[in-house]
Protein backbone atom coordinates (compact mmCIF):
# COMPACT_ATOMS: atom_id res chain seq x y z
CA UNK A 1 0.00 0.00 0.00
CA UNK A 2 1.50 3.37 -0.99
CA UNK A 3 0.86 5.18 2.30
CA UNK A 4 3.50 7.50 3.55
CA UNK A 5 4.51 6.33 7.01
CA UNK A 6 3.41 9.70 8.38
CA UNK A 7 1.24 9.55 11.46
CA UNK A 8 -0.14 12.77 12.86
CA UNK A 9 1.58 13.32 16.16
CA UNK A 10 2.69 16.90 15.81
CA UNK A 11 2.81 17.74 19.49
CA UNK A 12 0.30 14.93 20.11
CA UNK A 13 -2.71 16.79 18.76
CA UNK A 14 -5.98 16.15 20.54
CA UNK A 15 -9.24 15.88 18.63
CA UNK A 16 -10.35 19.26 19.97
CA UNK A 17 -7.33 20.74 18.16
CA UNK A 18 -8.81 19.53 14.87
CA UNK A 19 -11.75 20.55 12.69
CA UNK A 20 -13.75 18.04 10.65
CA UNK A 21 -13.99 19.14 7.02
CA UNK A 22 -15.62 16.11 5.43
CA UNK A 23 -16.59 12.46 5.36
CA UNK A 24 -15.58 10.01 2.63
CA UNK A 25 -18.85 8.72 1.20
CA UNK A 26 -17.63 6.38 -1.54
CA UNK A 27 -14.97 5.86 -4.17
CA UNK A 28 -15.09 7.59 -7.55
CA UNK A 29 -13.73 5.56 -10.43
CA UNK A 30 -10.87 3.09 -10.10
CA UNK A 31 -7.90 5.46 -9.78
CA UNK A 32 -8.21 6.17 -6.05
CA UNK A 33 -10.48 9.23 -6.09
CA UNK A 34 -13.11 9.59 -3.38
CA UNK A 35 -16.38 11.47 -3.03
CA UNK A 36 -16.41 13.56 0.11
CA UNK A 37 -19.43 15.06 1.82
CA UNK A 38 -18.17 18.44 3.09
CA UNK A 39 -18.89 19.28 6.73
CA UNK A 40 -17.68 22.81 6.16
CA UNK A 41 -20.12 25.49 5.06
CA UNK A 42 -18.10 26.11 1.88
CA UNK A 43 -17.08 23.08 -0.19
CA UNK A 44 -14.80 25.32 -2.25
CA UNK A 45 -12.61 25.32 0.88
CA UNK A 46 -11.02 22.08 -0.38
CA UNK A 47 -9.37 24.08 -3.19
CA UNK A 48 -7.33 25.94 -0.55
CA UNK A 49 -6.24 22.88 1.42
CA UNK A 50 -2.85 21.28 0.87
CA UNK A 51 -3.68 18.18 2.90
CA UNK A 52 -6.25 16.53 5.16
CA UNK A 53 -5.92 14.09 8.03
CA UNK A 54 -7.73 10.79 7.49
CA UNK A 55 -9.11 9.13 10.61
CA UNK A 56 -8.38 5.46 9.85
CA UNK A 57 -10.01 4.33 13.08
CA UNK A 58 -6.60 3.71 14.66
CA UNK A 59 -4.64 6.81 13.75
CA UNK A 60 -4.66 9.99 11.72
CA UNK A 61 -2.86 9.81 8.38
CA UNK A 62 -1.84 12.88 6.45
CA UNK A 63 -3.04 12.77 2.85
CA UNK A 64 -1.75 15.38 0.42
CA UNK A 65 -4.48 16.61 -1.91
CA UNK A 66 -3.48 16.25 -5.55
CA UNK A 67 -6.72 17.31 -7.24
CA UNK A 68 -10.19 18.62 -6.34
CA UNK A 69 -13.36 18.49 -8.42
CA UNK A 70 -16.99 19.05 -7.50
CA UNK A 71 -20.12 17.09 -8.31
CA UNK A 72 -23.48 18.28 -6.97
CA UNK A 73 -22.99 18.77 -3.21
CA UNK A 74 -19.83 16.62 -3.03
CA UNK A 75 -16.12 17.25 -3.42
CA UNK A 76 -14.15 14.65 -5.37
CA UNK A 77 -10.62 14.38 -4.00
CA UNK A 78 -7.53 12.70 -5.43
CA UNK A 79 -4.66 12.12 -3.01
CA UNK A 80 -0.97 11.81 -3.86
CA UNK A 81 0.21 8.20 -3.78
CA UNK A 82 -3.33 6.76 -3.82
CA UNK A 83 -3.77 5.51 -7.39
CA UNK A 84 -5.95 2.46 -6.95
CA UNK A 85 -9.51 2.01 -5.70
CA UNK A 86 -8.32 -0.80 -3.39
CA UNK A 87 -6.01 1.58 -1.51
CA UNK A 88 -8.83 3.88 -0.39
CA UNK A 89 -12.02 1.79 -0.52
CA UNK A 90 -11.77 0.57 3.08
CA UNK A 91 -11.97 4.18 4.31
CA UNK A 92 -15.57 4.79 3.19
CA UNK A 93 -17.43 6.57 5.98
CA UNK A 94 -14.21 7.86 7.58
CA UNK A 95 -13.77 11.48 8.63
CA UNK A 96 -11.32 14.00 7.18
CA UNK A 97 -9.85 16.60 9.52
CA UNK A 98 -7.54 19.61 9.44
CA UNK A 99 -5.59 21.23 12.29
CA UNK A 100 -7.56 24.07 13.87
CA UNK A 101 -4.89 26.58 12.84
CA UNK A 102 -5.64 25.71 9.18
CA UNK A 103 -9.30 26.66 9.67
CA UNK A 104 -10.82 29.72 8.08
CA UNK A 105 -11.13 32.93 10.04
CA UNK A 106 -14.61 33.32 11.43
CA UNK A 107 -16.68 36.46 11.30
CA UNK A 108 -18.52 38.05 14.19
CA UNK A 109 -21.12 35.69 15.69
CA UNK A 110 -19.70 32.72 13.74
CA UNK A 111 -18.50 29.63 15.58
CA UNK A 112 -17.10 26.22 14.81
CA UNK A 113 -19.69 23.57 15.65
CA UNK A 114 -17.03 21.64 17.57
CA UNK A 115 -16.70 24.62 19.94
CA UNK A 116 -20.45 24.72 20.62
CA UNK A 117 -21.05 21.05 21.38
CA UNK A 118 -21.27 20.32 25.10
CA UNK A 119 -21.75 24.00 25.91
CA UNK A 120 -23.76 24.86 29.04
CA UNK A 121 -27.01 26.65 28.14
CA UNK A 122 -28.42 29.22 30.57
CA UNK A 123 -31.60 31.26 30.55
CA UNK A 124 -31.41 35.06 30.63
CA UNK A 125 -31.86 35.09 34.42
CA UNK A 126 -28.76 32.85 34.76
CA UNK A 127 -30.63 29.68 35.65
CA UNK A 128 -29.41 26.40 34.08
CA UNK A 129 -31.42 25.26 31.06
CA UNK A 130 -29.38 22.39 29.60
CA UNK A 131 -26.48 21.35 27.37
CA UNK A 132 -26.04 21.92 23.65
CA UNK A 133 -25.85 18.44 22.12
CA UNK A 134 -26.05 19.00 18.38
CA UNK A 135 -26.30 21.61 15.64
CA UNK A 136 -28.67 21.04 12.73
CA UNK A 137 -27.75 22.98 9.64
CA UNK A 138 -30.84 24.18 7.78
CA UNK A 139 -31.23 26.50 4.83
CA UNK A 140 -32.26 29.61 6.73
CA UNK A 141 -30.36 29.31 10.01
CA UNK A 142 -28.80 26.66 12.20
CA UNK A 143 -30.88 25.02 14.89
CA UNK A 144 -29.35 24.11 18.26
CA UNK A 145 -30.44 20.85 19.86
CA UNK A 146 -30.40 21.33 23.63
CA UNK A 147 -30.87 18.56 26.18
CA UNK A 148 -32.67 20.23 29.06
CA UNK A 149 -31.82 19.61 32.70
CA UNK A 150 -34.96 17.40 32.94
CA UNK A 151 -33.67 15.20 30.08
CA UNK A 152 -36.07 16.42 27.39
CA UNK A 153 -34.86 18.02 24.16
CA UNK A 154 -35.70 21.41 22.75
CA UNK A 155 -34.76 22.96 19.40
CA UNK A 156 -33.57 26.56 19.47
CA UNK A 157 -33.11 28.61 16.30
CA UNK A 158 -29.66 30.16 16.07
CA UNK A 159 -30.98 33.70 15.63
CA UNK A 160 -30.26 36.88 17.57
CA UNK A 161 -33.76 36.98 19.11
CA UNK A 162 -33.11 33.61 20.78
CA UNK A 163 -29.32 33.30 21.26
CA UNK A 164 -28.32 36.25 23.39
CA UNK A 165 -24.68 35.49 24.21
CA UNK A 166 -22.11 32.84 23.36
CA UNK A 167 -18.86 32.57 25.28
CA UNK A 168 -16.47 30.01 23.85
CA UNK A 169 -13.96 30.79 26.63
CA UNK A 170 -16.48 30.05 29.39
CA UNK A 171 -18.20 27.24 27.42
CA UNK A 172 -21.53 28.93 28.03
CA UNK A 173 -24.49 30.19 25.99
CA UNK A 174 -27.31 32.45 27.22
CA UNK A 175 -30.68 32.11 25.53
CA UNK A 176 -34.06 33.81 25.45
CA UNK A 177 -36.98 31.38 25.15
CA UNK A 178 -39.28 32.85 22.53
CA UNK A 179 -42.99 32.01 22.66
CA UNK A 180 -43.80 28.59 21.25
CA UNK A 181 -40.36 27.01 21.70
CA UNK A 182 -41.40 24.83 24.64
**Residue 9: what pLDDT?**
46
pLDDT at 137: 77
Count of CB atoms within 10 A of residue 28's CB?
A: 19
Q: How far are the Cα atoms of 70, 120, 164, 165 from residue 169, in angstroms, in the given order?
A: 36, 12, 16, 12
Q: Give 10-residue mean pLDDT values along the chain (182 residues).
A: 41 64 90 90 86 90 94 92 88 90 75 86 95 85 92 92 92 90 75
Condensed to tens digits (0 to 9), the pLDDT of residues 4-47 reads 334 444 444 455 678 888 999 998 988 889 999 998 877 888 99
Residue 168 is predicted with a pLDDT of: 87
In CATH terms, the fold of domain 113-175 is: SH3 type barrels. (2.30.30)
Q: Quick one: pLDDT at residue 110?
A: 77
How high is the pLDDT of residue 14?
Answer: 53
CATH 2.40.30.60 fits 15-102, yes or no: yes
Query: b/e for 89-126, b at 16 or more Cβ within 10 A?
Result: eebeebbbbbeeebeeeeeeeeebbbebeebebbeeee
* Distance in angstroms (rounded) separating the CA atoms of residues 84 and 28: 10
Residue-range domain boundaries for the chain = 15-102, 113-175
Q: What is the DSSP letter of 75?
A: E
Q: Of all residues in the chain, what percent carry a pLDDT higher than 70?
A: 91
Structure confidence at residue 114 (pLDDT): 79
Dist. CA 70–CA 120, nearest whole Å: 38
Amino acid sequence: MPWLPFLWNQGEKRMEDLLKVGVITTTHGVRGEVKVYPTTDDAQRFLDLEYVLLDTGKELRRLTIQNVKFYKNLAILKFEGIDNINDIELYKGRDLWIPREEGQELGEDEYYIADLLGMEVLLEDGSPFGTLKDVMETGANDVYVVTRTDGSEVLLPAIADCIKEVSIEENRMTVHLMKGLL
